[in-house]
């Protein structure tokens, strides 16, 4: 049985990946500092280490205590807005933490890592859908640090022979179909949970930032992907590497964009009640459309999203949020 170390495995996407790994017969070790993750989100069958990957002592302890076959890396700060006002935090954690962990990983002879990157590495896209070969010009510090992490893995590969896959994606959403785990951020910045706070009585209305974009209804278009489909892609990428695959970068998305208004309309249908929304000015740096092409991941990794219907995605999120309006504090 292969042992996979999931860094940030108590967070949103990390915890769902741990559940999928265990369902697929893997032995799983989770390392998380619980800054934004939750101990309750960790699968009971996973072995848990609480600590920070910026600590070499902590990384060495995990790698020497466990025989790790591959690493899946989610441990990073990920708020675009925060990264613009506190960029050094992002360099410290995202790049500093990754460098320290990578050094320990190399010293302990672990050769495979799957890395949760972001489609923010592309910046304002030149065309839609976005391809892996498109230029990378991040427009925020978060995207810049993720792109720098990709380059760090590349040069560590050249020097030390490690193998890596970077997965770039946009809007992770939805919740585990069992309802056991889901999304819980404070403050919440993701559109679907923000919308669902209205019928949950935690928010009066949803703000729509701009309705004059060159899109079918004037609101921004985004690519939404179910968190369990993201999790399965990370597992396929780890298997690809362990089976001799070369270093690679893959986009993950549904290839179909939905406008903000369409997401709100679908949410109203799912919850069965109207959701109040108010227009607000555009936010700086919001591109009109962000949609990724996932053809490469489907072809090379054999990835097949199971939950690509937006009603199913929002339905799974609502099942979680209506039972856990305050996340893991309930």
Which of the residues are catalytic?
Answer: 142
Phi and psi at residue 6, in whole multiples of 5°?
Answer: -110, 110
Q: Pick the closest to residue 291 from 260, 253, 264 (CA basis).
A: 253
With a CB cutoff of 8 Å and minimum separation 6, the contacts of 131 are 251, 293, 296
CB 165 within 8 A of CB 250: yes
| Count of C-beta atoms within a 10 Å radius of residue 45 | 12
CB 123 within 8 A of CB 137: yes
| Count of C-beta atoms within a 10 Å radius of residue 237 | 28
């Amino acid at each position: 049985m292969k042992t996979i170390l999931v860094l940030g495995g108590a967070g949103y996407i990390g915890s769902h990946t741990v559940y999928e790994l265990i369902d697929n017969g893997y032995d799983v070790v989770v390392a998380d500092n619980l800054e934004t993750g939750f101990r309750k989100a960790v699968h009971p069958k996973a072995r848990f280490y609480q600590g920070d990957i910026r600590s070499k002592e902590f990384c060495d302890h995990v790698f020497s205590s466990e025989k790790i076959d591959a690493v899946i890396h989610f441990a990073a700060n990920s708020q675009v807005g925060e990264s613009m006002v506190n960029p050094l935090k992002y360099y410290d954690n995202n790049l500093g933490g990754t460098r320290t962990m990578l050094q320990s990983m190399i010293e302990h002879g672990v050769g495979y890592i799957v890395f949760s990157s972001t489609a923010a590495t592309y910046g304002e896209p030149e065309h839609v859908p976005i391809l892996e070969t498109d230029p990378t010009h991040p427009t925020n510090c978060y995207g810049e640090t993720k792109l720098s992490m990709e380059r760090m893995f590349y040069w560590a590969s050249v020097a030390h022979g490690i193998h890596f896959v970077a997965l770039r994606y946009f809007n992770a959403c939805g919740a585990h179909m069992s309802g056991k785990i889901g999304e819980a951020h404070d403050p919440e910045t993701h559109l679907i949970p923000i919308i669902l706070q209205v019928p949950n009585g935690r928010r009066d209305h949803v703000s729509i930032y701009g309705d004059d974009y060159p899109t079918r209804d004037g609101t921004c278009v985004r690519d939404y992907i179910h968190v369990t489909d993201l999790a399965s892609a990370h597992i396929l990428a780890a298997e690809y590497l362990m089976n001799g695959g070369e270093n690679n970068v893959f986009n993950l998305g549904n290839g179909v964009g939905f406008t903000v208004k369409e997401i709100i309309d679908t949410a109203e249908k799912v919850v069965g009640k109207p959701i109040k929304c108010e227009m607000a000015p555009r936010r700086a740096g919001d591109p009109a459309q962000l949609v990724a092409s996932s053809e490469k991941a489907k072809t090379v990794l054999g990835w097949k999203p199971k939950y690509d219907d937006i009603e199913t995605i929002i339905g799974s999120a609502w099942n979680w949020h209506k039972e856990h309006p305050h996340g893991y504090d309930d």
